[in-house]
Each structure stands twice: as C-alpha cells, then as structure tokens.
Structure 1
C-alpha cells in the first residue's frame, strides 16, 4: 500500500509543472463559484492502480474536493465503468484533471499489462518481477502498479542489493574471487545477485556464493540446462527480451523469477476519461 507521503512529492511537482502561474483558461471561462461533479470513466477494460493517487491530487489542489472511489487497487474493470466520482469547485477539478489522469492512466496500464504476464505463467511456479527501467521520479508509483497487477518488485534501488551485471564483470578477471570478496564486504542480510550470459559462467558464479543467478538472454534450451546445473543452489532468474508471447515458455523451463523491463518502460497508458458536469 502506498503512503500519501510517497505520493505527494510527485503530485506537487506535476501540478507545479502543469500550471506554474495558475490555470488561466479556467480563470477566464469558469465562474469562481461554479460547483461540478465529474466521473472517472474507463474507455477500455483493465486493472485498477492508483486510487490513492487520485485522492492526493485533488486534496493537493483543493481539500474541499470530495473523491468517492468505486473500485480498489488490483480490481478489474470493464469499458464504461465509473471508477470514481469527484465533486467540488469546478476550477479545482479542472486544475487536477490532467495530472490525475496522466498518473492514473499510466499506473492502470502497468497493472493491466502485468496481470497479462502473470496470467501467462500461472501454470508454473515462476514469479514475474519488474526492473529499474522505470520513469525517473515515478518509480514508487510504477512499482505499486506492478503489485496491483499481481507481479512482484525487484530491488528498488542501487542501494538495496548487490547485483553484478555484465559491465561489472567486465572489470574483473576472476568472477569467483570477485564474488567472494563482495560477499565478505556486505552484511549477511544483503542479497547478492550476479548476471551471466553463457552457461560456462554458471559454476564459477555459484562457487563465489550467490543468492540469485540471472541467466540473461538465454535460449530456452540453455535456460533448462542452467536450471539443472544450478540445481537449487541459488534462485534462478531469467531476463532479457521477455514478451507476452515468450514468457510462458520461459517459465516452463523451471526458472524461479522472470524479470520484465517492459512492464514499466514499454507500457501503453490505459484510456481513461473524466466526464464533467456543472451542478451549481
């Protein structure tokens, strides 16, 4: 669950960007005393993510605006469903409309896409996880959306775990020794993961004592072989070029985790609208 304190800095920055000197259109077209009601309506089916974001946006614009939610995060909706109803000063609703929709549409798009990946591997034990390929400044929201879609989160930042990738390994001559030295420097509670791009690296990496080994851009047969070689000595993660057409077959190789950058960096915003009417 997101906390308002995590959401508010994103919303404040977005509102300031969108109207640095106020909403001049509403100021000249909409009477200051006008009161309105607006429905957030789904134009296509999807999975909800971002109900708290919707609340924070309008609270930041004007605390007198009332937001009534008709759905919770993680729930599916159909085209035409009313997801929320917003009531209050018309100018305030118009002021928050675009920021609320921008964030909500992206989060729902991520949750919806994630749910499709999760469904594609449901017959296996593999879990679908995101990556750090997120929109700068929006990571906490996008990672929440992945969870709403039934997926899981990888490390949140560079500070959370040791994860040696190809560019790190290119700077060392002895993979096993480098991993062993890294393990000696970190707390016993910190996770250590290493990426490999060929089967010949698996044993040297395991010898160093890793928690997770990432098989990057492996063919399906090599993934199966890699799982057999690891034989439970570490968590096996598959990564690289994963899409909805391939994720099921990847999961069937026996890997534990499949990381999918496309959940956040290649997602399409879901089509949501805000239908407004003046009530007073």
Structure 2
C-alpha cells in the first residue's frame, strides 16, 4: 500500500485541482456582491441518515482556500448521523466560505455515501472473519478520498493503484501464455527491478486454483465469480497456503453467504461506483 506521505500528496492534488476547476480566475458571483471585509458563519447540515465522512477533508479544503477560516467540529468522521444534525460550523471571510462550499459539499456527500454503504456491508458480515475490500473502480481523480471513505465506513483498502501491488487477472494470464508463465514472469520482473510487491492471482475455476497453488509466494487468490459451492471447495483447496478473496457481482443479499464460505476478504466495486450522494448542505447562520 502507499505511504501516508504519498496518500497526503494525493489529497493535496485533489484539492488543488478541484479548486482550479471550480474557481478558476475567481468566484465572480461572490466578488460581485460581497465585500472583501465581510465575515460570515455557516453550518454543515445533515439532511439524510447515514455515516458521516469527509470532515477532516473538509478542514483541509477550508484551510487551503483560507488559512484564517475557523472550524468548530461537533461530529467526527465515522459517526452515525441523522437528519437535522449539525456536523460543524465554519466562520471567517464570507467570500472564502463560498469559494470552498461546493468542493466541501461534493466531497462530503460522496464520501458519506461510500462510508454508509461500506458500513452496511461490514454489519452484514458481523460475526464472521471476512473483511470488506474496495477496488480500483473509483471516480478518476478522486480515488484517495473514496478509499478513505471506505476505511471510515469500517472497510479495508485493496491496492491503491497499479503500482503498489501485483494483481494478475484473466487478461494478464492469457496474454502471458497462462497462469504459471504469468507468475514466473512476474517474479522474475520483480527480482530484476528490486521491487517487493505482494502478488494476487485471479482464478476463474477450480482447475486454475490448483494450478496457482503449484507456485510459491502468492499472497492472495482472487476467487472470481464462483458460486457458493465452488467457493467453499476453493477455500478448502487453498487452506492456509495463502489468503482468499471473493469478488464478482456480490451484493447485499449474497455477501453474508460468501463470507460463510470461509473467505478472508470480499471485494466490491459497488462500494465506490454505485452510490447515491448523501444529502448535506452548507447553510449560512
């Protein structure tokens, strides 16, 4: 996984690019009708029940826009909230508050939706040893925040990108000439380039799992689009040789059954690609 320093750099880039995109040469609506000296105060209002996420990120945005803005926090990230709750107050330059408003809301609404969905999956797995993972099916340019939201919701992060973990999927294996060749070539490449990355291999059937198990040094096997019966057989075959992960169209009605097959992880792209933003607003007070 990427380091905390690298992750912070990703967040800084998101903020810088989003402000560039939204504000450009200036917030002319505010500049036209609000004096530079005007001071104001606003509240972050919850309009829908769920898990709040993005509070710390919002503080980063406000400080980037105007280091003199003051934020008084009442509810922290990861807290269950209900309609009518006030998450924080922000006070200072009215122009600065308005400049940051849309980025704060867009980010928190999406992050809260992801955290809420993740938390629901986590609750469905309560009592099992299976953990929920996200995927790379994220919004381009906003991945760091979305993966952060998954963790706030109680899930865990898969690899961040293509560079922090090896994941050999069906196309890699086919293009490389088969699973065994793909693994061998990968190990040789890592050794030649002094790279120390974990290796995950996708399996499409039980025969491929048996082939994967002939190679050493595999961190996790991705049991992709298996039914319950074959998933249980796969877990039994793999035993303690490496970790296991189920994926492929797993939803709220099936996730518990897959966990009960004994897999270590269940990954779901739906955590980030199929959510509806939580309703939040920033209102002047």
Moved over 3 A (4+): 1-6
Whole-Å separation in 1 of the counterparts to 2:259 and 2:34? 55
Partner of 1:262: 270
1:4 shift after superposition: 5.5
Picking from 228, 241, 245, the partner of 2:249 is: 241
Contact 1:162 1:191 in 2 (8 A): yes
Segment of structure 1 superposing worse, 105-114 or 44-53: 44-53
Q: Where does residue 193 of structure 1 map in the other structure?
A: 200
Distance 1:191 1:241 in 2: 25
1:132 aligned partner: 136
Given that 1:50 and 1:104 are in contact with CA atoms closer than 8 Å, whether structure 2 keeps it comes out as yes
Of 48, 54, 57, which aligns to 1:53? 57
- Counterpart of 2:147 (choices 143, 147, 150) is 143
TM-score, scaled relative to structure 2: 0.91
Q: What CA RMSD, in Å, does the superposition of the two structures yield over aligned residues?
A: 1.8
Report the CA distance between 1:184 and its aligned residue.
4.1
Contact between 1:42 and 1:79, CA under 8 Å: does it hold in 2? Answer: yes
Q: Is contact 2:172-2:182 (8 Å) kept?
A: no
**How does 1:172-211 map onto structure 2 within 5 Å?**
172-186=176-190, 189-209=196-216, 210-211=218-219
Residue 216 (1) aligns with residue 224 (2): yes
| Distance in 1, Cα, partners of 2:12 & 2:179 | 43
> Whole-Å Cα distance in 2 between the matches of residues 110 and 17 of structure 1?
23
My pick for the range that moved more, 178-187 or 224-233, is: 178-187
Unaligned runs of 5+ in 1: none
The gaps in structure 2 that reach 5 residues or longer are none
TM-score by length of 1: 0.93
Counterpart contact for 2:168–2:182, Cα < 8 Å: no
Name the counterpart of 2:48: 44
Aligned-residue offset at 1:186:
2.5
Q: Distance in 1 between matches of 2:81 and 2:122?
A: 17
